[in-house]
Amino acid sequence: MNGRTAWVRAMRRSVAFLALGITTMASAQTVVKIDPGKSGSRIERDIFGQFAEHLGTGIYGGIWVGRDSKIPNVRGIRSDVVAALHAIHVPNVRWPGGCFADEYHWRNGIGPAAKRTVTVNSNWGGVPEPSTFGTEEYMDFLQQIGSEAFISVNIGSGSPEEAADWLEYMTTTQPTSLEKQRAANGHPAPYKVHLLGLGNENWGCGGAMSPEHYVEQMKLFSHFVRNTNPAQKGGEQMKRIAVGWDSNSKDYTDAVMKAWAEKTGDWDIDAVSLHNYVLDGWPPHLPATGFGEADYAKAIKEAYGMDDKIVHQTAIMDRYDPQKKVALSVDEWGIWLAPTAGSNPGFLQQQNSLRDAILAAVTLNIFMRHADRVRMANIAQMVNVLQAMVLTDGPKMVLTPTYHIYKMYVPFQDATFVPISYDSGTYRYGDKSMPRLDAVAARDSSGQLWLSVTNVDPDKPADLVLDVSGKAIRSADGQLLTADRVDAVNSFAAPDNVKPRPFSAQRQGDRLRLTMPPKSVAVLALRP
């Protein structure tokens, strides 16, 4: 081989590495130690919950197109979206809000569509709310995607009587007037309600209540709103979620937990909520597309801040509940960006990039590390709103980079956390510094060991060596998500721009070596 031929081949190898987002820059190896002989908390599948609010085109156009639509549907629910969501094993869907929940009156959304009440959605864009997607349609949607119900009842403008009637309508088997009404509306069998939100953000859009006033209202609703479905006994009982911290100044958690610890009478809660968005000030102004490394670093740094917020809430809850009977439910979270140009700003429509997928992976990893307390979470939101799984435009649909993270993370649902240690290193940009690597491991019910690794550094690869204590691992294979730029997106014109590809570790003697490209997430099965 002459000198010129060697030079050409070397250049071709460099170009190939760059096309995969990998530089040829040498990096020190990081040993990732995994101890499968030890185990931590169960990673509840409800951590991977979704959120669908009557907001913009999240419901109408995103999930519901109507029975007469030319878009393929089953009883008005669009089939492409159902297929996509079914594939990520959605455990629960929080509905009807959000701020919309504390103005929602459930009777508007039952019965013949032509007779339903049309109102104004004053929270989101001031547009008409036709009520054509109501209780029956929501439950049908859940059945189609294989999910469970998370109902938020109206504490802000509703009453305990209204909420109690709704639960009776959905769950009773007794021949009451509400049971007969449900049967007349097409569903003689009772529905199951897995989770019940006792209001939403009642420190803000849910009524601007003081913590003391909210606690009194919450106790009333918890006492009178009953699930009477006989199939929901024992471990299947409905769980009640009280409103907690907004991650800023209004912290209900202490008041709620104090009332719980001192409770008298027949009321109870199973969780307290935490809402938190990456938004870099108000109004949200981080760009969804066309951003550079400064905005990337700012968002990922803020995402890592979720850990501090969970630690803060856990410390409050531990004072009243050291046995961790009450869960922390992060039932609104995600990145809130500047709205898409030309869209109704009240519709909260935004594009979804590789940055947002990396942010989702980092956040889900934080939840899993706190699985002893964090047992529920809902990303905001499912379709067309904020950090969505899918985007639609008429008959078109595209999967977002965040969707791919949720599909890659399916093996972690109901898995058992496994201790892991490694030197995370540091990624720095300007005055922002944060862990460069973020990894978690878990063992599923079949005994299969899984590893997720995120390299948040947008420029440098990470060279890892896997060290699994007491167990010979012959291979590590799975999927990798990355792209050529941190602001890469999937569009209707280019739907596969950011898409997982097969990925595996390479054997190096008696060890497995893993080279993580810059700005990437991998999920691997470790096989003996």
**Residues with Cβ within 8 Å of residue 441, at least 6 apart in sequence:** 34, 36, 417, 418, 419, 420, 449, 450, 451, 452
Single out the catalytic residue among 44, 129, 201, 302.
201
Q: Are 155 and 219 in contact (CB under 8 A)?
A: no
- Please tell me the distance from the alpha carbon of residue 191 to that of residue 228, in angstroms, as a whole number: 10
- Please tell me the distance from the alpha carbon of residue 8 to that of residue 6, in angstroms, as a whole number: 6
Beta strands 374-379 and 327-335, pairing class: parallel
Q: How far apart are the first and last CA of the chain?
A: 41
Beta strands 501-504 and 475-481, pairing class: antiparallel
From residue 71, give the alpha-carbon distance in Å to each of 52, 56, 463. 20, 19, 47
**Residues with Cβ within 8 Å of residue 414, at least 6 apart in sequence:** 42, 43, 44, 45, 444, 445
Q: Are 88 and 49 in contact (CB under 8 A)?
A: no
Angle at 439 between CA 434 and CA 440, to 5 degrees: 135
Single out the catalytic residue among 53, 129, 136, 332.
332
- Please tell me the distance from the alpha carbon of residue 70 to that of residue 78, in angstroms, as a whole number: 10
DSSP 505: -
Q: Based on the residue annotation, tell me whether 332 is a catalytic residue of this protein.
A: yes
Query: What residue has token string 């490694």?
Result: 422
Closest CA to 468 of 451, 493, 480, 491: 451
- Residues identified as active-site: 201, 332
